Amino acid sequence: MRITHVLSGALLALGLAAGPAAADSSPSPGATDDGAPTRAGTSFRTATEIDQEQQATASGSTGDYLYWSFAADAGQRPNIRATVKLPDAHGAQTWQLDVYDGLRRRQACQYGAQTRTAAEGAATVEAACVLRTVRAWSEPWANDPLPGTYYVRLTVVNAAPADLGLPVSAEVRVESKEIGGSAAVDGSLAQPLVPGISVASDSAADPGEDGSVKSAVLSSIEPDGGWSSGWWSDRWVWTAVGGALAALAGIGGYALTRGPGRPSRIPPGA
């Protein structure tokens, strides 16, 4: 039992020491609320880019489709929360939070109330979505979440016609849980799933003629510290520790067959 504790302690320490990738995703403390976006886009193309752990706000009208985008990297499990402040007087309304990946494929939520109905006159309504863990690679036929841009769309899906157009304000926050080695899959994408990334890198490679430089890009977002290269996971630690333990156990097993000290059959002084 003790060895389990010691071992897990050691593994934990190793994992912590080797876990700077986990800390990378949090934005620098200097850039808190004051720098957060206060507007939302109205389409995939105009989605407002937000950082994770940033409280983005936006004002709009009931019936608007509000779009934000954020970057999620391999091993993260994004948790998106949205709060909508409703006008003083309104009927029952249903709000919905949808998440799409960089290919505009709708992503399923594991947990969280994606669709919420606010009762008549309610002050706020909250929706949440916890995505599946972002994988470094998946087969092209799969719909797994991959590193890249994610779009959040917040809108009312059911409201009385009289409520449409009334002012609302929304808050969105994205946080991620680092899932770590258990989600480390083999393979990696050559480029994250960021829309327009090939066009953007083309123009970046050719900044010579200023007329040809495109200043607007579909998505320019990337996690703090850049996209992970994807080679590190705590599986290295587990495997290395496993190998070391196997070696120790091998020595132990060998020693067991030899018995303690010198063989008893051999007379002393031989």
76 is an interface residue for another protein by CB under 8 A: no
Question: Is position 61 an interface residue for another protein (rule: CB under 8 A)?
Answer: yes
Contact positions with another protein (CB under 8 A) in 133-152: 136-137, 140-141
> Closest separation between CB of residue 249 and another protein, Å?
4
**Residue 165 structure tokens:** 């157009």
Minimum Å gap between C-beta 34 and another protein is: 9
Residue type, position 262, single letter: R
Query: In the complex with another protein, which residue's Cβ is closer, 79 or 135?
Result: 135
Binding footprint of another protein, residue count (CB under 8 A):
99
Residues near 137 by beta carbon (within 8 Å), at least 6 away in sequence: 146, 185, 186, 187, 188, 189
Give the phi and the psi of residue 248 in degrees, each rounded to 5.
-60, -45
Q: How many CB atoms lie within 10 A of CB 70?
A: 26
Taking the C-alpha atoms of residue 179 and residue 133, their distance in angstroms, rounded to an integer, is 7
Among candidates 184, 188, 191, 116, which has minimal Cα distance to 154? Answer: 116
- Which residues inside 238-267 make contact with another protein, applying CB under 8 A? 238-239, 241-243, 245-258
Closest CB to another protein among 87 and 112?
87
Task: Indicate the residue among 119 and 240 with the shorter CB distance to another protein.
Answer: 240
Q: Which of residues 28-57 bind another protein (CB under 8 A)?
A: 28, 30-31, 35-37, 39, 42-46, 48-51, 54
Binding mask 175-214 for another protein (x = CB under 8 A): ------xx-xxxxxxxx-x-xxxxx--x-------xx-xx
Report the site for another protein in 79-138 (rule: CB under 8 A). 100-106, 136-137
Classify each residue of 117-153 as buried b or exposed e, where b means 16 or more C-beta atoms within 10 Å of its C-beta.
Answer: ebeeeeeebebbbbbbbbbbeeeeeeeebbbbbbbbb
Rounded CA separation 28/255 (Å): 54
Contacts of another protein in 149-168 (CB under 8 A) = 155-158, 161-162, 164-167
Residue 47 or 130 with smaller CB distance to another protein: 47
Minimal distance, residue 205 CB to another protein, in Å:
13
Residue 265 burial (C-beta neighbours within 10 Å; 0-12, 13-18, 19+):
exposed
217 binds another protein (CB under 8 A): yes
The separation between the first and the last C-alpha atoms of the chain, rounded to the nearest angstrom, is 42
Complex with another protein: residue 149 or 176, whichever CB lies closer:
149
Q: How far is the CB of 178 from another protein (least distance, A)?
A: 15
